[in-house]
Structure 1
Amino acid sequence: MKVKHIIEHLEELAPLHYAEDFDNTGLLVGNAEQEVTGILISHDTLENVVEEAMAKNCNMIVSFHPIIFAGLKRLTGSSYVERTVIKAIENKIAILAIHTALDNAIDGVNAKICQALGLKNCRILLPKTGTIKKLTTFIPKKDADLLRNKLFEAGAGNIGNYENCSFSVDGMGSFKPQEGANPTIGKIGETHYESETQINITFASHLEKNILRTLFRHHPYEEVAYEITTLDNTNQKLGMGMVGELESPVAEKAFLRFVKERMQTGCVRHSALLGKKVKKVAVLGGSGAFAIRAAKQAGADVFITADLKYHQFYEGEGQLVLMDIGHFESERFTKNLIYDFLTKKIPNFAIALSESDTNPIKYF
């Protein structure tokens, strides 16, 4: 199995297409055609993680965080980033980072937090927009069912909890083949009229290449008329953060103790308690201050995230309690998530879970 095949599997969990623009995901070190002897799953990729991969005969590391974030102008070993990359290159170890692609995935980082806290009725806190597209094409009526079904098989037509969604309109199409054309129907120099079906079907934007490949493969015309538009609809299965509900309301201090134990954190920094029960909980793994407003709008009693600054603790404004549980701690289940997914996809392959502690923050 090659590096590119591992990437294809991970695309099913968290398409890299949906990583944030500021991020640096995908294959950071190595060759996509390289044969993989084993995979090490890690939270971060540091020198000791590369050494662990070597010891376990793994020549590919799948990491949550990217080791290369800002641009590298030289590789002299003068920083921990450069030393890590050099060691990986010298030992032909590929490094793949998945980061915000997994943050945005419906079954990703935030779903694991919700699972750990036992939240129910969970939904995306900040659903993405601009990620749903619509294909419109025109095809002879007799060929419409075949094409429609092939597009469904390629992943088109999924809307929320519904599959095989489309809309069709019958009409009359016309065209006049010119010299050099090789028409399936009609004759050179003559205007041809054909009973056609207009097919309208939505698809996730990361599937566009596959959708077009399917369209061209199964459409009978030499020249395929089609349009692709980006819709304004929010994508309820893609985005940052999640919000859900506890089985039963609990007191704030009891909930603080519960979160500290479940998320295995040495410290919970929080805003002023409000003296009310906690029922609805918003979560966002990693640095999530940008979602405070969304958590309030969702009616959350508590917002759990990390990396809150001093003045940001005021932004709860008496509407909810802000809880900072630590960056690493908010993402601590991530490597297990990746490991569980890959071991199910390729159960007979050598996949190891890193034992290296890469959390740079310690508690006294």
Structure 2
Amino acid sequence: MKVADVVEFLKQLAVESNAEDFDNVGLLVGDSQSMISGVLITLDCLEEVVDEAIQKQCNMIVTFHPIIFSGMKSITGQSYVERAVIKAIKNDIAIYAIHTNLDIAKEGVNFEICKRLQIHESRPLIPKARSIKKLQTYIPKTHFLQVQQSLFKAGAGKIGKYKNCSFRVEGVGTFLPTENSNPYIGQINVLEETSEMMLSVIFEDYKQSALLKALKSSHPYEEIAYEIYALENQNQDLGMGRIGELEKHLPEDEFLSFLKEKLPTSCIRHTKLKNKLVKKVAVLGGAGSFAIKNAILAGADAFVTADIKYHEFFQAESKILIADVGHYESEQFTKNLLHKYLSENLNNIIIIISEINTNPVYYYCK
């Protein structure tokens, strides 16, 4: 198995094009055609992690946070980033980053947090904007089912918990084949009228290339008429953060104890307790202050996230319990998520979770 093969499986979990514009995901270091000896999974690809990969004979590292985040004008070993990259290159170790695209994935970082906190029926807190499109095309009745099934197979027609969703209308199409055309129906320079079906399906934007390929390979016409529209529909699968209900409703102090146990941390920073019952919980791994208002508008009793600044705690306005569990602590089980996913799909290579604690933050709790 090659590095490229592992990359393809990771793309199925979290599409690279779904990453935020500021992010830097994908294969950052290494040759995609190199044969895999083992995969090491980490939250941060530090120099110590590269050493661990060498020691455990893993020539591919899958990291959550990209080690190369912005442009580098030189690689001289003057920073922790440069030292990690140099060591990886010297030892033929590939580095693949899967970050905000995994944050928003249906079964990504925030889904894993919900699972750990026993939050049921979770949905995106901030659905990905303008990520749903509609394809409308026109098909001769003789080939309608062939084209429809081809589009479904390519991923069109999924709405929430339903699949193979479409709409069709019967009508009459007209066209006049000109010189040098090769019409499936009709004759050169003769106006043709034929019974056609208009088919409409929706799809997630990253599937557009696959859908157009399926349309062209299954449709009999030389020139295919179709339109694609960007929709305002909310994406029911993809989005930043998630929100749902606790399996067991808890008083605020008990919820914080529960949170401290399930997302192991030595302390939790939080807003003032209001003696309310915590039922609905919003979560957003990593820095999530931008979503405080979204959690309040969604009716959450508590918002679990990290990196909340002093003045940002005031945004709770006694409407919600904000619990800052720490950046590393909120994302710590991402390694387990990736290990489980790759282990279930790749059974002929070694996949290891890094034992290095890469959390740069320590707490003095004595």
Match of residue 317 from structure 2: 317
Partner SS, residue 238 of structure 2: strand
Aligned to 2:233: 233
Deviates more, 1:245-254 or 1:99-108: 245-254
> For residues 251 and 139 of structure 2, what CA distance do their matches in structure 1 show?
61
The aligned counterpart of 2:29 is 29
Matches within 5 A, 1:1-364: 1-364=1-364
Deviation digits for residues 166-197 of structure 1, max 9, x if unmatched?
A: 11111111111222212222222222221111
Q: Which runs of 5+ in 2 are unaligned?
A: none
Shift of 1:348: 2.6
* Cα deviation, residue 138, structure 1: 1.1
Amino acid at match of 2:42: S
Letter matched to residue 296 of structure 1: I
TM-score w.r.t. the length of structure 1 is: 0.98
Q: Which amino acid aligns with 1:205?
A: D
Q: Distance in 1 between matches of 2:327 and 2:247?
A: 26
Question: Is contact 2:36-2:349 (8 Å) kept?
Answer: no
Could you list the per-position Cα deviations for residues 117-161 of structure 1 after superposition, in whole angstroms to 9, with x for gaps in the alignment? 111232211111211111111111110111101111111110111
Offset, 1:247: 2.6
- Supply the AA of the counterpart residue of 2:139: I
5+ residue gaps, structure 1, are none
Shift of 1:33: 2.3
SS at match of 2:240: strand
Deviates more, 1:211-220 or 1:190-199: 190-199
Instruction: Tell me the secondary structure at the aligned position of residue 362 of structure 2.
Output: coil
Between the aligned partners of 2:358 and 2:9, the Cα distance in structure 1 is 25
Give 1:34 deviation, angstroms: 2.2
| Whole-angstrom distance in 2 between the partners of 1:166 and 1:296 | 35
* Distance across 2 between alignment mates of 1:317 and 1:287: 19
Q: What is the RMSD computed on CA atoms of the aligned residues?
A: 1.1
Give the superposition deviation at 1:294: 0.8
2: CA distance, partners of 1:75 / 1:121: 46
Q: What is the total number of aligned residue pairs between the two structures? A: 364
Please give the alpha-carbon distance, in whole angstroms, between the structure 1 residues aligned to 2:180 and 2:86: 55
What letter is aligned with 1:233?
N
- Determine the C-alpha separation between the residues in 2 that align with 1:114 and 1:165: 29
Query: 1:156 & 1:5 partners in 2: Cα distance?
Result: 25
**Cα deviation 1:209-230 (Å, max 9, x = unaligned):** 1111111111111111111111
Distance 1:166 1:246 in 2: 35
1:129 match: secondary structure: coil
Distance 1:248 1:50 in 2: 42
**Counterpart code for 2:102:** L
The residue identity in structure 2 corresponding to 1:170 is E
Residue identity in the other structure for 1:76: T
Structure 1 letter corresponding to 2:237: K
Which amino acid is 1:257 matched to? S
After TM superposition, the score normalised by the length of structure 2 is: 0.97
CA contact (8 A) 2:40 2:351 kept: yes
> Counterpart amino acid of 1:326?
G
